[in-house]
Amino acid sequence: MSQKIVIAGSSGRMGRALIEALSGADEQVLHAALEREDSPALGQDAGDFAGLRTGVTIVAGLDDALRGADVLIDFTRPVATMHHAEACARHGVGLVVGTTGFDDTQKARLADLAARIPMVMAPNMSVGVNVLLKLIDVAARTLGEGYDVEIIEAHHRHKVDAPSGTALRMGEVAASALGRTLTDDAVYAREGVTGERNPRSIGFATVRGGDIVGDHTVLFAGTGERVELTHKASSRATFAQGALRAARFLAQRQSGLHDMQDVLGLR
């Protein structure tokens, strides 16, 4: 039996990529497509943007959309995702969260809800990025204290949070491997006379412009050499395929909070 998928934010950039990916998926089908109550996309076929006929009309009714569904995939905004997560818990529907920008209270509530439903939550669903996270851990542990860590990320002009959730996760992985925390050692901006670099710093640089899908580089700069680990996304299809893979992972689970490292068996 096919896994029934609900897409939140179905007319947005990631929503469209997910619907297109589902059109070619085996054993997964589009069950419902959600949008805000004021969206001009309401009433349209979910595949109109790509010349597809899905037979699924974009709607705003969350509870109706979740009835009979297996998994909701959400790449929206934190407030909307929290609303969707509460509804998923009521209906016993699994949840894949690609949304970023949550505060600590919201993260704690999602963890609470994951005691009732299976959930995958990751700032980046790309398989390549999650392999890169593993490489960052290995590099930081191996190179150690003699290498300065800097993280550079670039995204399209429409992205609303900075640094990206992916960049922050990369920083967290590096910090943990080095026995540090971002709370203590992250530097998010530099301007003017800053003085010499604190060797414990983990620096972030952010670029916003054009239609850049997502570029991330973690730089380990030592004396006489530097190591750069880079991932560049040229299409949102990579995130969509990763999200569908995460949804399949949830099919065998009743509850619990997971991330893409779990999905890919990288722990």
Query: Which tens digits make up the pLDDT trace of 144-179?
Result: 989 999 999 999 999 999 999 999 999 999 999 999
In the predicted structure, residue 110 carries a pLDDT above the cut 90: yes
The verdict on 105 and 209 lying in the same domain is no
The pLDDT value recorded for residue 257 is 98
Please say whether the dihedral angle defined by the alpha carbons of residues 50, 56, 61 and 65, taken in this order, is positive or negative.
Answer: negative
The verdict on 7 and 47 lying in the same domain is yes
Q: How confident is the model at residue 266 (pLDDT cuts 50, 70, 90)?
A: confident
The verdict on 228 and 188 lying in the same domain is yes
Segments forming the whole domain that contains residue 52: 3-121+236-263
Pick from 154, 146, 125, 149: which is nearest to 137 by CA?
Answer: 149
The verdict on 193 and 228 lying in the same domain is yes
Domains in the chain, number: 2
Whether cis (ω within 30° of 0) applies to the bond prior to 163 is yes
The verdict on 144 and 62 lying in the same domain is no
Domain harbouring 216, CATH code: 3.30.360.10
Query: Which tens digits make up the pLDDT trace of 113-131?
Result: 999 999 999 989 999 999 9
Pick from 259, 244, 41: which is nearest to 129 by CA?
Answer: 259
The verdict on 259 and 183 lying in the same domain is no
The verdict on 7 and 111 lying in the same domain is yes
The verdict on 27 and 87 lying in the same domain is yes
The pLDDT value recorded for residue 5 is 98
227: its two tokens: 């190591």
Q: How confident is the model at residue 133 (pLDDT cuts 50, 70, 90)?
A: very high
Query: Which tens digits make up the pLDDT trace of 240-252?
Result: 999 999 999 999 9
Q: What's the rounded Cα separation, in Å, for the pair 218 and 150?
A: 6
Is-contact 56 65, C-beta < 8 A?
no
Q: Angle 128-133-139 (CA atoms, 0-180°, nearest 5)?
A: 120
The verdict on 150 and 92 lying in the same domain is no
Mean pLDDT rounded to a whole number for the chain: 96
The verdict on 181 and 247 lying in the same domain is no
The verdict on 253 and 190 lying in the same domain is no
Domain harbouring 245, CATH code: 3.40.50.720
Measured from the Cβ of residue 222, the count of other Cβ atoms closer than 10 Å reads 12
The verdict on 165 and 139 lying in the same domain is yes
Catalytic residues: 155, 159
The pLDDT value recorded for residue 12 is 93
Q: What is the DSSP letter of 49?
A: G
- Give the largest CA-CA distance in the chain: 63
SS3 for 108-171 is HHHHHHCCCCEEEECCCCCHHHHHHHHHHHHHHHHHHHHCEEEEEEEECCCCCCCCCHHHHHHH
Single pTM value for the model = 0.85
The pLDDT value recorded for residue 267 is 78
